[in-house]
Amino acid sequence: MSIAVISTGTELLKGTVLNTNLAFLGRELGTLGLSIRLALIAGDREQELYTACAEALGAADTLIISGGLGPTRDDITLDATARFFGLELEPHPELVEKVTAFWHERHRGRVPGQVLRQARAPRGAAILPNPNGSASGFRIDTVYDSRPRRIYLLPGPPREFEPMAHAFLLPELARSMESEGHEYTLGFLAAGEPEFQLQVRFEKALEGFPVELAYCATPAGTRVFVSGSDSGQVRNAAELARSLSGPWALPFGELELPAAVLAELGRTRRTLVTAESCTGGMISAALTAVPGASNAYLGGAVVYSNRLKHRLLGVPQEILDRFGAVSAECAGAMVDGAAERLGGDCAIAVTGIAGPAGDDTDKPVGLVYIGVRAGEKRSVEEFHFRGDRNAVRERSCGSALLMLYRLLKEDEVDSAAGAGR
């Protein structure tokens, strides 16, 4: 099975909207051992979609198209796709009923003809229900260039696209894997490891494997993807790559450090609190973006000013006066204060200078101190990050989570060694 994706919308080409559907799909397919062979963006013109379809079907037998199924004039996906494949569009009684009910829940009066465009379906297509919007999705089995093809049409809004992908698209692709040849992919996060160092390590070690490697640098490390047509060879190569990726490589399929930290906390039944200065809540946001975060994450405090560092966390005024807010001493006091005053088994604290200007001392932009604590174990480290304000903050967030993850895993090793004595 080979997969291509077309994301539609002129707003994607202009950069006013991020293509989160593609990122979501890439991650979810990776967990199935599948990967996207080709991804394209088409604007809201039929000819652009025709061109994209032809290119995509030259590379893949399964095509996923997102967006352009709404009622407005620039929603051209259904009509353009039907014309491209020579399919007839016709009103579908089930969709007429749904669109009409959806309209009357929100408006009065007769349903406009433009809205009823969403009640049409390609003849012979399977309808994919959308519980969160008026535009249904479709699965079309057809023939193109003398080969059988499967086409999925899904709405563009992520709150509609993602549930429908989980309900229909991903399960169907997983079932198709069992009976068709396809490319296998295994991915993992090499936490704390830069991309270029991994490439040097892998170049000779994996030379004899019939696989392809792909890398994606993140503030928390490098995502590594190993792909090939032989599942056994992919597994062997991926296991070797992971063994060469340092001691903090996450298990296969785990690509996000916040989720790994929360999983480790949940496994050991511990809780976490945070105290953030220069990151301004980014760590808290990264953690709470993970479903089920409340099982381990209690919350945190954003303490930007020295006054709040002192009042909320109990950072001694003497430390602030003598060493300053951006110091190892302050980070240590912040992480201790967070654990004690906010009541967490574990804690993270960050203080630094994100820029673009420095503070009123001679400390440079990019200087960050991070403290982490797990039980009685505590670690404070100094970092010098390069880049603009957002880059410094993102790298601070990734490094803080990695520090805690390391401390938790070290604590696990120490506990196991103690139990064995």
Is residue 229 located within the same domain as residue 131? no
pLDDT tens-place string over residues 244-267 = 998 889 988 788 899 999 999 999
- Which two three-digit tokens encode residue 374? 């797990």
Q: Is residue 263 part of a domain?
A: yes
Q: What pLDDT is recorded for position 421?
A: 56
Residue 168 and residue 307 share a domain:
no
Residues 234 and 114 in one domain: no
> 285, 340, 283: which is closest to 312 by C-alpha?
340
Interaxial angle between packed helices 231-243 and 195-205, expressed in degrees from 0 to 180 and rounded to the nearest 10: 130
Are 124 and 197 members of one domain?
A: no
Q: Supply the mean pLDDT for the chain.
A: 91
Beta bridge partners of 150: 62, 141
Does one domain contain both 69 and 170?
yes
Residue 69, in any domain of the structure: yes
Tell me the percentage of the chain whose pLDDT exceeds 70: 96
Confidence of residue 178 (pLDDT cuts 50, 70, 90): low
Mark whether 301 and 275 lie in a shared domain.
Answer: yes
Strands 62-66 vs 3-8: parallel, antiparallel or unpaired: parallel
Cα–Cα nearest to 137, from 172, 188, 183 = 172
Whether residue 30 is found in the same domain as residue 171? yes
Q: Is residue 77 in some structural domain?
A: yes
* Residue 357 pLDDT: 79
Q: pLDDT for 8-51, tens place per residue?
A: 999 999 999 999 999 999 988 887 878 899 999 999 999 999 99
* pLDDT for residue 217: 86
Residue 328 CB-density burial (10 A; 0-12 exposed, 13-18 middle, 19+ buried):
middle
Task: State mean pLDDT over 91-107.
Answer: 89
| CATH at 53 | 3.40.980.10
Closest CA to 41 of 22, 62, 58, 26: 22
- Domain residues for 393? 257-420
Where a domain ends, among 154, 177, 200? 177
Instruction: Supply the pLDDT for residue 252.
Output: 87
| Residue 251, in any domain of the structure | no
| Residue 272 sits in the same domain as residue 401 | yes
pLDDT at 395 over 80: yes
pLDDT for the residue numbered 86: 92
Q: Quick one: 173 and 198 in the same domain?
A: no
Q: Domain check: are 223 and 151 in the same one? A: no
Q: Can you give the pTM of this predicted structure?
A: 0.69
Total domains in the chain come to 3
Cβ atoms of residues 34 and 183 within 8 Å: yes
Are 120 and 151 contained in the same domain? yes
pLDDT at 185 over 90: no
Q: What is the pLDDT of residue 238?
A: 94
Q: In terms of domains, do 119 and 12 share one?
A: yes
Q: Could you give the angle at the alpha carbon of 163 between the alpha carbons of 160 and 168, nearest 5°?
A: 115
Is 360 a residue whose pLDDT tops 70? Answer: no
* 324 vs 326: CA distance, rounded Å: 5
Q: How confident is the model at residue 182 (pLDDT cuts 50, 70, 90)?
A: low
Give the CATH number, domain containing residue 203.
3.30.70
- What is the domain-level CATH number for residue 371? 3.90.950.20
How large is the average pLDDT for residues 372-382? Answer: 95
304-317 pLDDT, tens digit each: 999 999 999 999 99
Q: What is the mean pLDDT of residues 186-194?
A: 90
CA–CA dist 65, 138 (Å, integer) = 10
Q: What is the DSSP string of 373-404?
A: EETTEEEEEEEE--SSHHHHHHHHHHHHHHHH
- The CA-atom distances, in angstroms, between 165 and each of 64, 129, 174 are 10, 11, 12
Which of 95-104, 149-158, 388-397 bottoms out in mean pLDDT, i.e. has the lowest? 95-104
